[in-house]
Structures are given as C-alpha cells and as structure tokens.
Amino acid sequence: MSLLDRRAISERLDTESFGRTMYVFSEVGSTNEAANELASNGAPHGTVVIADSQTRGRGRMGRKWLSPPGCNLYISVILRPALPARDAPFITFVASIALHEAATGAGVKASIKWPNDLLAGVKKAAGVLTEMEVEGEKAKYMVVGIGVNLNMTDKMLAAELGEVASEATSFLVASGREVDREAFAASLINQLEKRYTEFMSAGKGPIIQQWTKRCGLIGRQVEVCEGDSVTRGVAEGINGAGHLLLRKTGGEVEEIGTGDVAIV
Ligand code: BTN
C-alpha cells in the first residue's frame, strides 16, 4: 500500500490555479468536509484537497462513500465562481465531463449517468458530490468532491461494499490495468480547470452538448426513482436547469430534478 505523493501530482499539472494550493492527507473524515472548512477560512479558488483514505466519505443523497486506503482517489476542489446558485448543477456536469476525459485518458471506456455518476461498462466507478455555500442568490464558494474507484480489486469491492458491490466497479476491474493514482489525479485536475474555464467563458450551451455526447442514457428507456415515485420514459438530454428530460409514452416531456436513474 502506498500513500499519495504530492510532488508526483504537482509536477504533472499544467494549470493556472487548480492545484496550485494543494493539501494531500493520508486520512481525513471527508475531503469535502476539509475543503469546506478551508474555504470558509478563505482558501483560494482552485485549492485541492486529496486524501489516501476517508473515514466519513460522503455521497449523494446522504449516502456513505466507502474510502479505503491505498487504492482510490478522493479529491475535492474549492471553487469561487461568479455564478447564480441556481446554476450550481452545471459545475457538477463540468466535473463529470472532466472525469470522463481523465478516465478515457487512463484507457477506461466510460459513460456518464445523470446526474453525476461515471460508469465503466454498466457499473459505477466514480461519483461527484458538489456542495455550496450560498450568499444571497449567488454561490459564495463551492466544493466539488470526486471519488474514483481506481485500483480496487473484485475482492476488495465485495469486501468493502457488501451487497452494493454488484453495482460498483473500479478502473482496474473494468480495464484490467492498474492506474497510476498521481498521474490520474493530475490529469483530472488539468481537465477540471480546462472544462471549468470553458464553462465560465462560453456558458451552458457547450456543456450541455459535451455532457449529452458522453451520457449513456440518451435514447434509452429509463426509470427514475425518487422516494416512492417512479417515472419512466426515454432520456432525451438535460435542460438549462440541469434537469433530465424524459419523453413519456404519451409523447409529453417530463423534467426530472432529482432521483436515481436505471436503464430498463
Ligand atoms: C456519489 O454519491 O456518487 C458522490 C460521491 C462523491 C464521493 C467523493 S470522495 C471525495 C469527496 N469527499 C467526500 O466525502 N465525498 C466526495
């Protein structure tokens, strides 16, 4: 088991601000928690927090993100965008596109599942959790947290994830190749800055286009579960609010704001 080498990440960065302030821990509660605290104390835009393991890794919808040491990537980036709070979902889409690019660069055939999962084949290998501190109607700062199952073996997935192991995978399992964690972290940080900069200058249109191209749900019959409600339809894309557009059997289009999607 090896800890992450900060220098091996830094020397691969071609960014202006992302990762220029970087904290690499062997263990934290959650990198999002640490990044939120740093941000509330004034840490600059682009600050990166990485940990080899997390004891309280958090996922979407209050779920846990299992974060064993020595194998994966747990990373959070502090952003200070001049952005209306309602556009926050687009930061998650920006992160998903960056993640997809970095995965492709690592030789993994991946696709995005709305809103923020990265699938390798049909199983989840990574997720994005964006958190935001709001001031008035604007984002004061945001923390984009990304967890990527890189080098977990089948055995580790089964041992760590128990019954959800059948829905999860890692880059190693999907591609048969071990991933250099520092090189992958640097590639992800580079992609994040590139995509974020594009979004801030060109707006939502290109992001919707790039995201849709990478989304594996488009044109497929899906089911979205949110609490007790289930909506079925063909996924057509996302709108300017970041909602998933589902064409139902009657032809009408429903906008879905939250939920878990499955291809049926
Ligand atoms: C999801 O539910 O799909 C989102 C998972 C996000 C996990 C990452 S790991 C790094 C960062 N720190 C956390 O506590 N969560 C995010």
Spacing, Cα 126 to ligand 1 middle (Å) = 8
Spacing, Cα 247 to ligand 1 middle (Å) = 30
- pLDDT tens for the chain, 264 residues long, are 458 999 999 999 999 999 999 999 999 999 999 999 999 999 999 999 999 999 999 999 899 999 999 999 999 999 999 999 999 999 999 999 999 999 999 999 999 999 889 999 999 999 999 999 999 999 999 999 999 999 999 999 998 877 666 789 999 999 999 999 999 999 999 999 999 999 999 999 999 999 999 999 999 999 999 888 999 999 999 999 999 999 998 999 999 999 999 999
Ligand 1 and 31: CB distance under 6 A: yes
pLDDT at 162: 72
pTM, full prediction: 0.95
Ligand 1 and 50: CB distance under 6 A: no
- Max Cα separation, the chain? 57
Counting from 1 in the atom list of ligand 1, the atom nearest the Cα of 124 is 3
DSSP states of 214-264? HBTTTTSEEEEEETTEEEEEEEEEE-TTSPEEEE-TTS-EEEE-S-EEEE-
Spacing, Cα 128 to ligand 1 middle (Å) = 6
Which of 36, 55, 65, 150 is the pocket-test mutation for ligand 1 (most atoms within 8 Å of CB)? 65
Residue nearest to atom 15 of ligand 1 (CA): 58
pLDDT at 1: 47
Ligand 1 and 121: CB distance under 6 A: no
